[in-house]
Amino acid sequence: MNLPTPITIQPPTITRSTGEVRAQKPITLSELDVTLIDNLKRKRCEARIRPCPYPLVLWSGVAYDEAGEYTQADVEERILELLGPDIKARLEGLFQPPQRTVC
């Protein structure tokens, strides 16, 4: 999936058990390497975007049902919609664990 313009993302630093903090090298992307995971039982569709460790949830619950039989174009449109105008910041956010809500 091609990006409108190349972007450079900065993965977060890594702290080793010794306390040493290491910066990771920036990553420049001109396209997204996306793996789609569609779980009918859980009513959830997510995109795994390499090299980000956490997924981008495209549809879940009622929205999953409403999405129905989506196409590749639908998926790409939804990814760009969720990434928003600041694609760099949103991709860097996928290096952090998602926030869990407590009921």
Q: Which residues pair with 38 in a beta bridge?
A: 45
Mean pLDDT by 10 residues, the chain (103 residues): 92 90 94 96 96 96 93 95 95 88 58
Please name which of 21, 9, 33 lies closest in space to residue 96, comparing C-alpha atoms.
Answer: 9
Asked, for residue 103, whether it belongs to a domain, the answer is no
Number of domains making up the chain: 1
pLDDT in tens, 6-34: 999 999 998 888 989 999 999 999 999 99
- Domain assignment present for 99: no
> Two tokens at 42?
């859980």
In-domain check, residue 41: yes
Domain extent for 41: 2-93
Residue 55 inside a domain? The answer is yes
